[in-house]
Structure 1
Amino acid sequence: MTIIQKLIRHIRLLEIVGDLIRVRAEGVAFGDIAVVENIDGECSLAKVVDLDRDIVSLQVFSGGKGLSTDAKVNFLGRPLDVVYSDNILGRVFRGSGEPIDGGPALPTDPRIPVGGPTVNPVMRVMPSRMIETQVPMIDLFNCLVESQKIPIFSIAGEPFNELLARIGFQANADVVVFGGMGLIFDDYHFFRTAFEEHGVFHRTVMFVNQASDPLVERLLVPDMALAVAEKMAVEDNKRVLVLLTDMTAFADAMKELGVAQERIPAVRGHMGDLYTQLASRYEKACDFKGAGSVTILSVTTMPGDDVTHPVPDNTGYITEGQFYLHDGFIDPFGSLSRLKQHVVGKATREDHGQIMNTMIRFYSGAVEAKKKQAMAFELSLFDEKLLKYGHLFRERFMDTRVSLPVIEALDLCWLTLAECFEPKELLMKQNLIDTYYPKAALSKAEPQDAADKAA
């Protein structure tokens, strides 16, 4: 008799609580997969989510509706795994790992375990390469760096899915791994169509849990996506970009599971291990020594636009910055990339650092000038320049629909500054002004300087 055969047991259910069932068993490990066979012969997968001596709690993938206490549980003696081969590129899977795109089954392809440990810090490389997204507010002001983990903080109704999809098909990554949690069908269809229309679907893998799918699959989607991404980075030397939406739906699913397990919540209904659960996923982001990299860009919706909510609050401690999406714009003041100093002016052009600081400094002045105008204060000539600049900055850079390569975006920054300010007002290094300030604008500014001196 093999080890697997010894681990298979036929056990009657002790209790059914929602999608959670409890049985009495021994020799079972946390995270093991089991097959639940109902009295009508219908079978469903389940995952061990809690152990209390010999009482085993399992989350049923298809839900507990219709289950009888006379159902039987067959433990398979192994954790959940997912298909991994070249054949998964261009495919869509559900949270249980089964294809849902109508393509061929993959029964003979090799499988890899899901939810392994994070990478040894010794095997990590200091981030030094930029992922160009062609979104100016990211590439210019808060660069996305390889191996970074960073969320998009937003609220319901904002175009965060549109932004995430654009980054997915515009970013210079080798492979895109998408993980959708609790998506309505329209959102799932939008992502798939966007990747297909922009010609990146052949190098994309999608793991999708729709709102109508079982709750437990929502918890498995990030683990499956990250397991595949890590394997591609380590074995195939790929630069992998992982897109996850929405991590708040993931956290809410954990909260529901905790309630079913009768655990005592910590803050606003969330369990005390929320930080650990989020960190164990985000820390999969890594630039592997001698191999590829995994970069994680996620969406975290803030209930009530409250950044102190447990999910965004814990996420902020784990990740390396955030992009704030407000009113369809990426907010330049709330957004932050803690790794941008590794690439600004090094992986990009020499003027990047000065342009970044100058543009934000002037936009801050434009916001203040806008307040003065709203309160009917008298505006100076320089205030008028700031107001003009603020309008151009929002239109040319802040709008998430704008798409520009980073060099073109830097040139547009200089053009925008030249349209609003004279060279002496920029307070930038003279050698950069001499090199990059538009020559036509510079020639117009010189007579004005001479007139000022004569006056």
Structure 2
Amino acid sequence: MIQDLIRHTRVLEIVGDTIRVKAEGAALGELAIVENVDGESSLAKVVSIDHSIVSLQVFAGGKGLSTDAGVRFLGHQQQVTYSWNILGRIFRGSGEPLDDGPDISTEPQIEVGGPTVNPTMRVLPQKMIQTDVPMVDLFNCLVESQKIPIFSVAGEPYNDLLARIGFQADADILVFGGLGLIFDDYHFFRTQFEEHGVFHKTVMFVNLASDPIVERLSVPDMVLAVAEKFAVEENKRVLVLMTDMTAYADAMKEVAVAMERIPATRGYTGDLYTQLAKRYEKACDFKGAGSVTILTVTTMPGNDVTHPVPDNTGYITEGQFYLHDGVIDPFGSLSRLKQRVIGKVTREDHSQIMNTMIRFYAGATEAERKQAMAFELSPFDEKLLKFGGLFRERFMNIRASMPFNAALDACWQTLAECFEPQELLMKQHLVDKYFPKQQTAAA
């Protein structure tokens, strides 16, 4: 009965891509069809309800709409296609296929944007996801069910790093979400997944910079709904990749401005933390099932970590990878869950190697400062300088790639090229077992 009453509702106001109508019985997040007087129709999503005034964000934009347009509410939230047939496919933020693949309109649909998992169904993180990226695997392990961002700035190769982790990670399923991507970036991700042989286990949801803002807001929810379904029902280890969450927050801000909401810090919405946390908390290791691990990119305008988006993100997530000057900074990066796997599911020397390498690299940066200020360098400073150069070249470069145990062996080899065994200050039984026998710093 309600559907009949509000089938043709006159539009009260059009502000940008947002329209307001007077209607009863609509629900927040519900989809509607906006039927223009020329016969064209477009999907819209309920984004706000104020008594009987309903605000909808029109997917195709408000351009060309008339106040004589009609609105028909569909009675359900946004849905996304879910089946094994979506693997190897690319979808828009509206859920429609972006590629030229077979028709899957008859496949099952699932609703997006549901609640996070019951805490009693969560398992404590205890499994590592190997990425073959040394600065991740060795120094800030990626743990199953972790939620962690890549903090960076515009112009840095953060998409290269995200794609590399995606096609090298030992995950069963990849679910990618592109938020406001330029076409070159979209093509880059697609090409990388295809060339490295993981496209068959990947599903992509892409919102291009030229696409409607409301679709950008839908992408994370669709990505996470699909990821959760694969984890729970198919017992899969799912890795979610999304870039860029700052573009997502900017889209929320743009919609809020159109709706005349009172802005908070730097114009962002007052519920920014809640909206980000609602998505990040989908990361979970499910009891008796699979897991969802979330890795995102969060750009910091002006390299300002106090910017509202990275600032709020830091309170929600379990660490961050800090990418600047083309390398992952070991000092700015942190994985709060790494202690749950280091030495437990990794080799016995992992903890000692991690601490020793960072200790010597910190010494190398100090020696570089002394050198820059023309202070006299000691013989040990010279060794530190050599070590610092090798460490950046072999480990910090985001294109460095090696299996986990090979990376540990490379650490021992690097230490042997720069220092004597007694200079390492490591547990002697580990030095005796792993230090290269035929090579010393003097050699």
Calculate the TM-score normalised by the size of structure 2.
0.99
Provide, for residues 370-422 of structure 1, a one-character-per-residue CA deviation record: whole Å limited to 9, x for no partner: 00000000000000000000000000000000001110000000000000001
Provide, for residues 331-360 of structure 1, a one-character-per-residue CA deviation record: whole Å limited to 9, x for no partner: 000000000001111111000000000000
Paired residues for 1:189-338 under 5 Å: 189-338=187-336
Q: Which amino acid in 2 is paired with 1:163?
A: L
Q: 2:128 aligns with which of 108, 127, 130?
A: 130
What is the aligned residue count?
A: 443
Q: Which amino acid in 2 is paired with 1:90?
A: G
Q: Secondary structure at the match of 2:266?
A: coil
Q: 1:403 aligns with which of 401, 404, 408?
A: 401
More displaced stretch, 207-216 vs 101-110: 101-110
Q: Secondary structure at the match of 2:362?
A: helix
Q: Secondary structure at the match of 1:228?
A: helix
Paired residues for 1:63-74 under 5 Å: 63-74=61-72
Distance 1:105 1:268 in 2: 44
Distance 2:103 2:186 in 1: 21
Q: Which amino acid in 2 is paired with 1:431?
A: H
**1:17 Cα shift?**
0.2
Matched-pair contact (CA < 8 Å) for 1:26–1:54 = yes
Aligned-pair identity in percent equals 78
Q: Secondary structure at the match of 2:438?
A: helix
Residue 150 of structure 1: aligned partner:
148
Residue 452 of structure 1: aligned partner:
none
**1:105 Cα shift?**
2.1
Distance 1:367 1:194 in 2: 34
Q: Which amino acid in 1 is paired with 2:74?
A: L
**1:163 Cα shift?**
0.5
Q: Which amino acid in 1 is paired with 2:255?
A: L
Q: Secondary structure at the match of 2:224?
A: helix
Residue 35 of structure 2: aligned partner:
37
Residue 119 of structure 1: aligned partner:
117
- Return 5+ residue gaps in structure 1 as ranges: 449-455
Provide, for residues 27-66 of structure 1, a one-character-per-residue CA deviation record: whole Å limited to 9, x for no partner: 1111100000111111100000000000000000000011
Matched-pair contact (CA < 8 Å) for 1:79–1:114 = yes
Matched-pair contact (CA < 8 Å) for 1:358–1:426 = yes
More displaced stretch, 91-100 vs 101-110: 101-110
Residue 378 of structure 2: aligned partner:
380
Instruction: Answer yes or no: is 1:413 the counterpart of 2:429.
Output: no
Q: 1:315 to 1:402 in 2, by over 3 A?
A: same
Distance 2:38 2:8 in 1: 15
Distance 2:27 2:313 in 1: 29
Residue 341 of structure 1: aligned partner:
339
Residue 76 of structure 1: aligned partner:
74
Distance 2:4 2:36 in 1: 22
Distance 2:35 2:131 in 1: 47
Matched-pair contact (CA < 8 Å) for 1:4–1:76 = no
Q: Secondary structure at the match of 1:300?
A: strand
- Return 5+ residue gaps in structure 2 as ranges: none
**1:433 Cα shift?**
0.3
Calculate the TM-score normalised by the size of structure 1.
0.96
Q: Which amino acid in 2 is paired with 1:322?
A: Q
Q: Which amino acid in 2 is paired with 1:204?
A: T
Matched-pair contact (CA < 8 Å) for 2:6–2:24 = no
Distance 1:324 1:4 in 2: 51
**1:4 Cα shift?**
8.3
Matched-pair contact (CA < 8 Å) for 2:156–2:324 = yes
Q: 1:431 to 1:220 in 2, by over 3 A?
A: same
Residue 436 of structure 2: aligned partner:
438
Provide, for residues 190-241 of structure 1, a one-character-per-residue CA deviation record: whole Å limited to 9, x for no partner: 0001000000000000000000000000000000000000000000000000
Q: Which amino acid in 2 is paired with 1:292?
A: G
Matched-pair contact (CA < 8 Å) for 1:330–1:399 = yes
**1:108 Cα shift?**
1.1
Distance 2:42 2:107 in 1: 22
Q: Secondary structure at the match of 1:253?
A: helix
Distance 1:42 1:102 in 2: 24
Q: Secondary structure at the match of 2:226?
A: helix
Provide, for residues 215-270 of structure 1, a one-character-per-residue CA deviation record: whole Å limited to 9, x for no partner: 00000000000000000000000000000000000000000011011011110000
Matched-pair contact (CA < 8 Å) for 1:8–1:76 = no
Residue 99 of structure 2: aligned partner:
101
Matched-pair contact (CA < 8 Å) for 1:7–1:75 = no
Distance 1:70 1:33 in 2: 19
Distance 2:190 2:409 in 1: 33
Distance 2:105 2:214 in 1: 23
Residue 45 of structure 2: aligned partner:
47
Q: 1:180 aligns with which of 178, 181, 206?
A: 178
Provide, for residues 45-89 of structure 1, a one-character-per-residue CA deviation record: whole Å limited to 9, x for no partner: 000000000000000000001101011100001100100001100
Q: Which amino acid in 2 is paired with 1:64?
A: G
Q: Secondary structure at the match of 1:226?
A: helix
Distance 1:155 1:327 in 2: 10
Distance 2:216 2:162 in 1: 19
Residue 163 of structure 2: aligned partner:
165
Q: Secondary structure at the match of 1:432?
A: helix
Provide, for residues 289-325 of structure 1, a one-character-per-residue CA deviation record: whole Å limited to 9, x for no partner: 0000000000000000000000000000000000000
Segments of 4+ moved more than 3 angstroms: 3-8
Matched-pair contact (CA < 8 Å) for 1:239–1:293 = yes
Matched-pair contact (CA < 8 Å) for 2:2–2:25 = no
Q: Which amino acid in 2 is paired with 1:378?
A: E
Q: Secondary structure at the match of 2:439?
A: helix
Residue 451 of structure 1: aligned partner:
none
Q: Secondary structure at the match of 1:440?
A: coil
**1:6 Cα shift?**
4.5
**1:8 Cα shift?**
5.6
